[in-house]
Amino acid sequence: MAKRRLPPTRPPRPIRFDLGRLLPGQAEFWRVLETDEARYVAVVTGIRGGKTMIGARRALREATRRGGLGWIVAPTYTMANTPHRLFEDVLNQHPGMVADQRDHPYPYWRLATAKAPEIEVHTAEYPDRLRGPGLSWVWCDELAIADYEAWRILMGRVLDTGGVIFLTTTPKGRNWVYQEFIGNPSGRHKLITWKTEDNIYLPREEVQELKRRWGPGTVWERQELGGEFVAFEGLVFPEFDPTVHVAEPPKDAQWVEFQAGLDFGHNDPTALVILGKTKQGMWWIVHELYESRLSALEMVRDVAALCRQFHVQRIWADQSRPEFIKEFQRMGAPVLASRPCSPKSLGFPRISVLLKEGTLRVAPHCRNVITEFGLYSYKRKRGTDSVKPGDEVEDRFDHAMDALHYMLWSVAPGSFDSLDWTTADPDEQDRLRLLQLKYQRNPGEPLDRPRPRVVGRYVAD
């Protein structure tokens, strides 16, 4: 097909790029494209890292340098607004540059520079619609959330023109962007990454505040602020999203009842999570206790004090530690053995469902609950990166999660009433039966740990 070339309506003018002070990563990105070092270039950073801004400038540079038709692509129509607006800002910095412009059916510009380049904005909702003749360059913003198919088709469109395709995006787990640029890159691929906090143009305190809220080192924080490709597949609760599930309970909440879950620890922390249920049917994690090395006495004292403070009516505790439970009961604390759950993962869907419905929320000061939601994961298969739900869970970052699980597993779904086994939801009974078959075990049966032998006054294992 003949190259589209329309006569410029204004005399071509040279353009000078005033890039101001670029961040080191932005400068590296500029250099890689300027020297044609790579054809597939990805800038992957934390949110507000400064990638769309540099992408927009580079789009104009590629347009004037290469001529022909270039595309700006975003995953959805609304998400296209950002690169559209930033590109327009860049154009406005060069008055008289636009020779022709339309907004329908998609934003379009023709520039008054020597090669009369054309630029269009498109979205990737329907990857098939991205097919067509060759493009001189493509800039994809935040495309990580789109299908790999979109990227594959776009790559094809710069193939015969010798064009470039560059991607500016926040990572989304180890999805196709990771596969493409880290898992299976070619000599033509180049990945540039940096963190949100490397953007010196952002107010530092705000970034630190966000980091605190999301929990430094949580998978979520590492992805959204660190720009890292984190392994999300292994997370037990991938639904947990701090922007949705972390919130202050409303001041006028009408509380129905408070109950708690308790996981005993010594070297590992003892974790208590207190949940309140509101009249509207929301579950709020309103408080946590998370302390290592508490003596039995301290544990009882602290737990009892918190329970008085929140009027907790029942505490569901690890049923494999009857001696602790007895101790609490002697002190008058309303501690009960949690309903047995084996394997543990049997109870996860309960929590997942609440997260998906958005009916389970965590108060922001419950740092350890939030952190564990972001880290609690399934065990990796030895020597591989593969994790599959249903496999064993890691016994790390599981203390507050266990406490939460004891509580939610012991009460009837959707209510604080302790579960009557015979009236459990039929679906759940089916699942239980299947799992019993699989694990050859009755969930009501005690753990198949040998009963302790009593030898004199000592208990031998």
Ligand X SMILES: Nc1ncnc2c1ncn2[C@@H]1O[C@H](COP(=O)(O)OP(=O)(O)O)[C@@H](O)[C@H]1O
Burial class (CB in 10 A: 0-12, 13-18, 19+), 345: middle
Residues that bind ligand X (rule: CB under 6 A) add up to a total of 16
Per-residue contact flags (x/-) with ligand X for residues 3 to 42, judged by CB under 6 A: -----------------xxxx--x----------------
Quick one: how far is CA 342 from the chain centroid?
28
Among 25, 50, 68, 107, binds ligand X (CB under 6 A): 50
Query: How near is the Cβ of 146 to Mg ion at its closest, in Å?
Result: 14
Task: Please choose, from the candidates 62, 63, 87, the residue with its C-alpha nearest in 3D space to the C-alpha of residue 74.
Answer: 87
Q: How far is the CB of 19 from ligand X (least distance, A)?
A: 7
Structure tokens at 13: 């003018």
Which is nearest to 82 in space by CA: 50, 128, 110?
50
Q: Which is nearer to ligand X, 121 or 274 (CB)?
A: 121
Question: Which of 51, 174, 211, 405 touches ligand X (CB under 6 A)?
Answer: 51
- Binding string, residues 362-401; x marks residues near ligand X by CB under 6 A: ----------------------------------------
Nearer to Mg ion, 52 or 377 (CB): 52
| Cα distances (angstroms) measured from residue 42 to each of 26, 192, 257, 456 | 11, 6, 51, 70
In degrees and rounded to multiples of 5, residue 453 shows phi and psi of -85, 135
Q: Which residue is nearest to ligand X (CB)?
A: 50
- 289 backbone dihedrals φ, ψ, rounded to 5°: -125, 135
**106-to-119, 155, 331, 355 alpha-carbon distances in Å:** 10, 21, 71, 37
Q: Taking CB under 6 A as the criterion, which residues in 395-424 touch ligand X? A: none
CB of 78 or CB of 184, closer to Mg ion: 78
Show the site string, 181-200: x = touches ligand X by CB under 6 A, - = not. ------------------x-
Q: Annotate 355-416 with three-state secondary structure.
A: HHHCCEEECCCCHHHHHHHHHCEECCCCCCCCCCCCCCECCCCCHHHHHHHHHHHHECCCCC
Query: Residue 296 carries which side chain, given as an amino acid letter?
Result: A
Asked if 286 touches ligand X (CB under 6 A), the answer is no
Among 8, 49, 276, 374, binds ligand X (CB under 6 A): 49
For Mg ion, the binding residues (CB under 5 A) are 52
84 binds ligand X (CB under 6 A): no
Among 48, 94, 222, 277, binds ligand X (CB under 6 A): 48
87-101 burial, b for 16+ CB within 10 Å, e for fewer?
bbebbeebeebbbee
For residue 32, the minimal CB distance to Mg ion (Å) is 19
Beta carbons of 24 and 174 less than 8 angstroms apart: no
Does position 61 bind ligand X by CB under 6 A?
no
Q: What is the CA radius of gyration of the chain?
A: 28
Contact between 47 and ligand X by CB under 6 A: the answer reads: yes
Position with the least CB separation from Mg ion: 52
Based on the shown chain and the rule CB under 6 A, indicate whether residue 227 belongs to the binding site for ligand X.
Answer: no
Where do contacts with ligand X occur on this chain (CB under 6 A)? 20-23, 26, 45, 47-53, 199, 201-202
